[in-house]
Structure 1
């Protein structure tokens, strides 16, 4: 019977393979901690897929809040991901507030309320993907990590917006709209129109604006990424795939078809950044 370490690692491999790949480039003594962070992220990001009603979803998020806040001694609570996460938080002195903010942000996932504005979207990205990058950086190198908090913010926005674009077909099918209302209005659309039918005439313009926003944050990240010390690279490696995914979207139909990268290309892009870092722009 597999132990907790194998269960947590397998959970990340099954639910978030891109981050699974990046963790393999971390030092061996840091990988279990990264896997616990990524497994937790996958758990809370996937709540809506498993629990289709908002209120039970909120109950599940509150369960995680209570687990993280509690001081549990001894054998833990018997949930492999929760026990691994608690050990990581304790061993690396990670701020519990960051996890609380992440859980609060994930309440948005459970409902069909439209994202109000670009500012709200960037705040959501900051509390989710950017926070995850910063927490991973703190595990990898707690001395250097604080210097790159702002870069983690840019990286998180680029990665999260790219991820939301990849999920457009799924979100539209279930009536969710992560494209901010102000971006939709500028494109001549609305949240209701965007998720209905073919999305209306403004849908493609709105998607193009979202791709441009992701590229804006990605370029800001890349401008500072050459300064990243090798010790922090694994935390930022998910960004190795963002430019390739965005290029696929620009050539495809992301409203209806989720772009894919081959396993070989994903491995190659990740390996290149893991070994060489990001060139100076």
Structure 2
């Protein structure tokens, strides 16, 4: 029978392959902790996929809150939960960050529109950026606080890119993560956007989202040369972001059903290059 660490690792490999690959570049003694964080993230990000109504999803998120808040070391019987609790305790991770992450994930359960760019960046900050910062704290707790702002930029770039990659799925669900102010500037609304087959208004909105992701990515890359090698694995998924955005931008129509992916070879090469040399100028 597979051990807890094997179950957690296999779960991340299946649900979030990019983060799984990035964790392999971390020191051996830190990998299980990173994989526990990534497995938890995959669990709460996929709650919407396993429910038919929002209320059971909120109950599930509350279960995670209770598990993380609980004192003591009694096992829950849930491999990811037990691995996460061990990681939080061993690395002295702030439980408030997980509570904020779970609160942000409530948005995923509903079809409410994203009100503004500020709200979107806040959502990205509490989810992807918080995950990067927590991973950094696992890797090097002394250095991590100095790069919290960089984690914020990185998280926004990564999360907005991820939302664009999931756009076909979100449209099928009737969800819209594109902020209302960006949609208005593009000449459309959330209702029209999710039903659009890739017309000019939708294309303008997607282009604006790509530009926003690039803005945050550029700000991250500007400061990333200062990242110590000890923190590099926490930021390593960003190695793929520019390639994903470039591929999206080359699409003439980003219509429902469109799938944007990088080849396995390309992903491995980008991760290896940045793992070895970071984001030093070429």
> Does TM-score exceed 0.5, indicating one fold?
yes
Residues 169-188 of structure 1 show CA distances to partners (whole Å, capped at 9, x for unaligned) of 00001100000000000000
CA distance in 2, matches of 1:129, 1:190: 26
CA distance in 1, matches of 2:204, 2:195: 16
CA distance in 2, matches of 1:259, 1:107: 26
User: Is 1:65 the counterpart of 2:65 in the alignment?
Assistant: yes
CA distance in 1, matches of 2:163, 2:37: 20
CA distance in 2, matches of 1:41, 1:212: 26
**Which is further off, 244-253 or 20-29?**
244-253
Q: TM-score, length-normalised on structure 2?
A: 0.98
Would you say the 8 A contact 1:188–1:202 is kept in 2? yes
CA root-mean-square deviation: 1.0
Partner of 1:93: 92
CA distance in 1, matches of 2:46, 2:169: 13
User: Is 1:264 the counterpart of 2:265 in the alignment?
Assistant: yes
CA distance in 1, matches of 2:178, 2:198: 12
Q: Where does structure 1 lack aligned partners over 5 or more consecutive residues?
A: none
Partner of 2:234: 235
Partner of 2:115: 116
Deviation at 1:51, TM superposition (A): 1.3
CA distance in 2, matches of 1:142, 1:85: 17
Would you say the 8 A contact 1:193–1:200 is kept in 2? no
Deviation at 1:50, TM superposition (A): 1.1
Partner of 1:279: 280
Residues 204-246 of structure 1 show CA distances to partners (whole Å, capped at 9, x for unaligned) of 0000000000000000000000000000000000000000000
Partner of 1:221: 220
Partner of 1:6: 6
1:201-212 to structure 2, matched below 5 A, reads 201-212=200-211
Would you say the 8 A contact 2:196–2:202 is kept in 1? no
Partner of 1:163: 162
1:75-86 to structure 2, matched below 5 A, reads 76-86=75-85
Equivalent residues, number: 280
Partner of 2:41: 41
Deviation at 1:199, TM superposition (A): 5.1
Would you say the 8 A contact 2:170–2:176 is kept in 1? yes
Q: Where does structure 2 lack aligned partners over 5 or more consecutive residues?
A: none
**Which is further off, 17-26 or 192-201?**
192-201
Deviation at 1:280, TM superposition (A): 3.7
Q: TM-score, length-normalised on structure 1?
A: 0.98
Partner of 1:141: 140
Deviation at 1:48, TM superposition (A): 0.3
CA distance in 1, matches of 2:63, 2:2: 25
CA distance in 1, matches of 2:255, 2:105: 23
Partner of 2:149: 150
Would you say the 8 A contact 2:198–2:254 is kept in 1? no
Deviating 4+ runs (over 6 angstroms): none
**Which is further off, 80-89 or 194-203?**
194-203
CA distance in 2, matches of 1:114, 1:160: 17
Residues 180-201 of structure 1 show CA distances to partners (whole Å, capped at 9, x for unaligned) of 0000000000000000141553
